[in-house]
Amino acid sequence: MKTLVAKLYGLWFLVVFVFCATGAVLLALLLPGEHRRRRAARSAARWVFLLTGSFPSIRGLERLPEEPSVIVANHASYLDGVLMTAALPDRFRFVIKREMTDVPVAHFLLRRVGAHFVERSDSRRGATDIRNIMQTADSGGSLVFFPEGTFRPEAGLRRFRNGAFAVAFRNNLPLVPVAISGTREMLPANRLLPAPGSLSIEIHPMFQPAAHQSIDVAIMYCRDRIMQSTGEPDLQSS
């Protein structure tokens, strides 16, 4: 019986997601202005979780600075980006692996809402991408990174790449560590349909880069806060 309920829930989640995503794509096509399109994408993402009874508990939303900032979050599932879109104010733009440009519909929507794409396998192309992102930050944009770069079915926090932290230090922007819990259990990398589950987001106090500090200090601060919230093991060495 539990298996049947889980399958029915997964199918319902898929139907809701496709419906809301279709609406978001149409609005991204028709609406003028990135801000309006991001607002529409946020509304669509919120409806995905509201209609499936899985809207997350969010702690620490008041800790988000009003000025431009860089959010770094753990990455455990394909749900993470949708969840963060639903939870965060619509002023944030996402930084996403360039492989998503191979998915035409997702690429169209992400590009229309101002997402940035980063090459992970080509260091020269990746450096160019980061320079472009720095220009966005320099002009007052707020950004969201998943610095692990990818995710796996097994629990654990992996090594953080430097890109998000380099952008924050270069532009003197506060870093905000955000811990996502529950998405790995709801939709792990080796499963097609989501299962019922409880989701939560915890926003930690920001880290303000200073001249005497190193990027390594910032990475350690953010990783420690995220591990405290998720309870997942440290897989830095792997």
Using 50, 70 and 90 to split pLDDT, how confident is the model at 236? Answer: confident
pLDDT of 128 > 80? The answer is no
**Averaged pLDDT of the chain:** 91
Confidence class for position 212, pLDDT limits 50, 70, 90: confident
H/E element holding 235?
Answer: strand 234-235
Instruction: Give me the sign of the Cα torsion angle 44, 106, 89, 40.
Output: negative
| 122 pLDDT higher than 70 | no
pLDDT of 138: 62
Q: Does the structure show a pLDDT above 90 at 20?
A: yes
* Residue ranges covered by each domain of the chain: 2-235
**Mean of pLDDT values over 40-69:** 96
Q: Closest by alpha carbon to 71, among 218, 235, 229, 227?
A: 218
Instruction: Name 57's bridge partners.
Output: 200
Fold exhibited by the domain 2-235: Glycerol-3-phosphate (1)-acyltransferase (3.40.1130)
The pLDDT-based confidence of 126 (bands split at 50, 70, 90) is low
Please choose, from the candidates 168, 212, 149, 162, the residue with its C-alpha nearest in 3D space to the C-alpha of residue 71: 168
Query: Residues 5, 2, 188, CA angle at the centre, nearest 5°?
Result: 80
Residue 139 CA to residue 126 CA, distance in Å, equals 20
